[in-house]
Structure 1
Amino acid sequence: MLSHNIPNTLSLFRIIAAPFILLAGWFEMPILFFILFGMLLLSDVLDGIIARVLDQTSELGSRLDSYGDILTYLCTPIAVWWLWPDIVKEELYYIVAAIVIYILPAIFSLLKFGKLASYHTWITKISAVLMSAGVLVLLVFDDNLLFHSAIYFLVIAMIENIAITLIISKQKSNIHSIWHAWNERS
C-alpha cells in the first residue's frame, strides 16, 4: 500500500510531471520546459529534506524518489534535443557519456539484486546539483564548462555506486557513502 505523506507525494509529482517535459520539447515551448524542469528539481530537493525532517524516510519513498530521478533523466535530454538541437549536436559526446554513466550503476544493481539501487549517496546528490546547474547554464548562457565538469564528477558517483553494489550483500536504500556501505555490510 502506498504511504501517503509529503515526500512520497513530491516524488509521485516528479514521476507524473517528468513526461510533460517531453511535451514542452515536442511543442517547442522552452519557457514551459524551464518551469517544469525547475519544479522537478525543486521537488527532488524538497522530498529528501522533508522526509528526514518529518522522519518519513522509507524504502518506498526512496524507490519513488529514484523512479522520479530516472524519469527526469530520461525525459530531459530528449526535450533538450527537440528544443536546442544545435547544443545537443555540440555536446553529443558529453550527453551520451552522462547517459552511459547513469545507466552503468543501474545495470550492476539489476544484475546483482534484480532491482534498481536507491543509494542516494552524498556524492550522487552533489553530482545531481552540479548536473542540474550545468544543464541550466548550458541552455541559458550557452556555456558548457559547468556541464562538462559535472560529467567528470558523475564518473566519481558512478564508481562509488558500482563499488557499493559490489560491497553490500543485499539491496539496501539510503547509503550515504562507500564508507558507510563498507561499515554496514552484512
Structure 2
Amino acid sequence: MNRTTAPRQSLRALPWSLVVLRLALAPGIVWAAASGRPDAVLSVCVLIALLSDIYDGVIARRLGCDTPAIRVADSLVDTVFYLGVLAALWLRKAAVVRREWPLLAILLTLECVRYVVDLRKFGKSSSYHSYLAKTWGLVMAISLILVFAFSRGGLLLGIALVLGILCDVEGLAMSAILPQWQHDVKTIPRALALRRAMLAGK
C-alpha cells in the first residue's frame, strides 16, 4: 500500500468505527445507569449515539463505502443500543417505562416480527433507513435526552414510540412489497417502484 492510499483506507474505516462506538455505548449506558453516574452522562451517551448514527452513513456515502454490510450492521446496532437504553431507563426512570409499557410492548413485538419476516424472506434483516425511520430516531433520541437529563419529555417519548410502531408497520409493508432484499428504501412508493423494476428485470 502506498502513502496516498493508506490515509484513504483509514478514512474508509471511520464509518465502521462509528457503528462499533454505538455498539459499545449499549453496555456503557447500562453500566452508567447501574453504577449511579449522573443522569447527564446517560443523556450524553444518547447524544453521542445519535451523532454517530447520523454521520456513519454520511461519511460512508462521501467515501464511497456505503455497502449493504454497513447498512445492515447500522440497523442491527441501533436495535442493540436502544435495548441498552431501555435497560438504563428501567434502572433510572422505572415509572416512565411502566407508563409507556403498552406502547413499548407493541413496539418490541413488531421489532421481533420484522426480524423474523426479513430473515425468512431475505435471509438477513432489512435496512430501509426510510424518512419515517430517520424521523423516529431523531425524536426518540431527543425525548430520551430530555427524560434522562431533566425528567421531562414524557409526551415526546410517547410520540416517539408511536412513530416507532408506524415505522415497523412501514418496514413490514416494504418487506412484503419487495421481491428481493434492498437497502435504503425511503418510502413505500419507492418500494413499489423498485418492485416493478425488479419484476420487469426478470
Q: TM-score scaled by structure 2? A: 0.82
Return the match for 2:92 from 79, 83, 88.
83
Highest CA radius of gyration, 1 or 2? 2
Supply the distance in 1 between the matched residues of 2:53 and 2:92 (Cα, whole angstroms). Answer: 23
Residues 82-91 or 67-76, more deviating:
82-91
1:4 is displaced (CA, Å) by: 4.8
Residues 1:143 and 2:134 aligned together: no
Supply the distance in 1 between the matched residues of 2:192 and 2:171 (Cα, whole angstroms). Answer: 12
Q: Deviations over 1:76-129 (max 9, x none)?
A: 101110112222222222332332343332222122223211111111111111
CA root-mean-square deviation: 2.0
Partner of 1:12: 20
Supply the distance in 2 between the matched residues of 1:34 and 1:134 (Cα, whole angstroms). Answer: 10
What residue ranges of structure 1 are gaps of 5+ in the alignment?
A: none
Supply the distance in 2 between the matched residues of 1:34 and 1:137 (Cα, whole angstroms). Answer: 8
Instruction: Indicate if the aligned counterparts of 2:144 and 2:153 stay in contact, CA closer than 8 A.
Output: no
Q: TM-score scaled by structure 1? A: 0.88
1:175 is displaced (CA, Å) by: 1.6
One-letter amino acid of the counterpart of residue 68, structure 2: E
Return the match for 1:106 from 115, 125, 129.
115
Partner of 1:51: 60
Instruction: Indicate if the aligned counterparts of 1:104 and 1:158 stay in contact, CA closer than 8 A.
Output: no
1:46 is displaced (CA, Å) by: 1.0
Moved segments of 4+, more than 4 Å: none
Instruction: Indicate if the aligned counterparts of 1:18 and 1:40 stay in contact, CA closer than 8 A.
Output: no
How many residue pairs end up in the alignment?
184
What residue ranges of structure 2 are gaps of 5+ in the alignment?
A: 1-10
Q: Deviations over 1:139-177 (max 9, x none)?
A: 324332211122222232112110110111122222222
Return the match for 1:115 from 124, 142, 156.
124
Supply the distance in 1 between the matched residues of 2:97 and 2:165 (Cα, whole angstroms). Answer: 20
Partner of 2:183: 173
